[in-house]
Amino acid sequence: MEPIVLSNSLIKHKLAILRDKRTGTKEFREIIGEIASLLCYKALENAELQKTEIETPICKTEVEKLDENKYVFVPILRAGTGMLDGLIKVIPNAKIGHIGLYRNEKTLKPVKYYYKMPSNIQDREVIVLDPMLATGGSAIDAISMLKEDGAKKIKFLSIISAPEGIKKLSEVHPDVQLYTACIDKSLNDVGYIVPGLGDAGDRIFGTK
């Protein structure tokens, strides 16, 4: 699928703050959550709704609501957890799974160290979170694990994506829709997105 880029003036403004190396941990973390919320709204704009009757202060009326329990948010550790607060604000009753991957600095390949999902993953819509889609290795491996576990409907949310990662993800998992706030120029020789914003995990957690 072609990536869906959520681009408007406010997001461009927020991305400019994220990219600035002078932006502190608190502000960086908050903006990651804000953009994640906006990506979630976009990803669920055509979500299936269920009709139900409620009573307003004026009268009874029929409304349409999400079944929040059918959604699972899956951050790829550790940077993906920086997006989680933003999504929980949108769908507070969603289930949460975790996939632990880290990148081997020599091979640039993802290495798995943790996997934990809620039950009945095959009956839920899974939304995978990672601020940076760079080489695509972690995204591809995470989605492959979810499919092996029975997940059938998967979406991927990233703040910034590289063309190389988008290409690989679409080749291996063409059924997974990508939602991103920006597509950057390229990767450098050590696998970082250019111009990018540095290591998202380090900046979210203040570890550098």
pTM over 0.85: yes
| Domain membership flag for residue 58 | no
Digit-by-digit pLDDT tens for the chain (208 residues) are 799 999 889 999 999 999 999 999 999 999 999 999 999 999 999 999 999 999 999 999 999 999 999 999 999 988 999 999 999 999 999 999 999 987 777 776 777 889 999 999 999 999 999 999 999 989 999 999 999 999 999 999 999 999 999 999 999 999 999 999 999 999 998 889 999 998 898 899 888 7
| Domain membership flag for residue 148 | yes
pLDDT of residue 190: 85
Q: Domain tally for the chain?
A: 1
Residues 160/165/169/172 CA torsion (nearest 10 deg): -170
pLDDT of residue 17: 96
* Catalytic machinery residues: 103, 107, 199, 202
Domain interval for residue 168: 4-46+69-205
C-alpha to C-alpha distance for 90 and 112, rounded to whole angstroms = 29
Q: Where are the alpha helices (DSSP H) in the chain?
A: 9-19, 25-43, 81-90, 137-148, 163-172, 200-205
C-alpha to C-alpha distance for 151 and 110, rounded to whole angstroms = 21
Helix H, strand E, coil C: the string for 158-201 is EEEECHHHHHHHHHHCCCCEEEEEEECCEECCCCCEECCCCCHH
pLDDT of residue 1: 76
CATH number at residue 138: 3.40.50.2020
